[in-house]
């Protein structure tokens, strides 16, 4: 019984640690007029593409999957749903 309890506590500690170090969260897509109409990655790259004013950093993950990490930020809502498309 004592060994089982120690094992359960150990597993919970490991899971808690994994949760805490699971990585940084991606910024949400702003809820403004400029971003509300975006429905695919090509629209993102008009401003965030190479050489653009708000270009992505060189260490940014794959640049063709914007909506996998970045979710819509709606005022007053806690939605985690990606944009359509």
pLDDT the model gives residue 58:
86
18: left (phi over 0), alpha (psi -120 to 50) or beta: alpha
Task: Report how far Cα 52 is from the mean position of its chain's Cα atoms.
Answer: 22
Closest-CA residue to 75 (of 35, 45, 20): 35
pLDDT: which is higher, 21 or 6: 6
Q: How far apart are CA 46 and CA 53, in angstroms?
A: 9
Most confident of 18-22, 51-55, 65-69, 75-79: 51-55
**Mean pLDDT, range 21-38, rounded to an integer:** 82
Q: Is 45 helix (H, G, I), strand (E, B) or coil?
A: helix
Angle (CA) 40 44 49, round 5°: 135
């Amino acid at each position: 019984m004592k060994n089982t309890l120690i094992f359960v506590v150990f597993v919970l500690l490991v899971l808690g640690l994994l949760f805490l170090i699971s990585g940084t969260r991606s910024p949400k897509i702003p809820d403004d007029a400029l971003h509300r109409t975006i429905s695919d990655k090509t629209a993102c790259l008009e401003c965030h593409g190479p050489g653009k004013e708000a270009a992505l950093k060189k260490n940014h993950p794959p640049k063709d999957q914007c909506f996998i990490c970045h979710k819509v930020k709606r005022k007053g809502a806690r939605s985690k749903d990606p944009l359509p498309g």
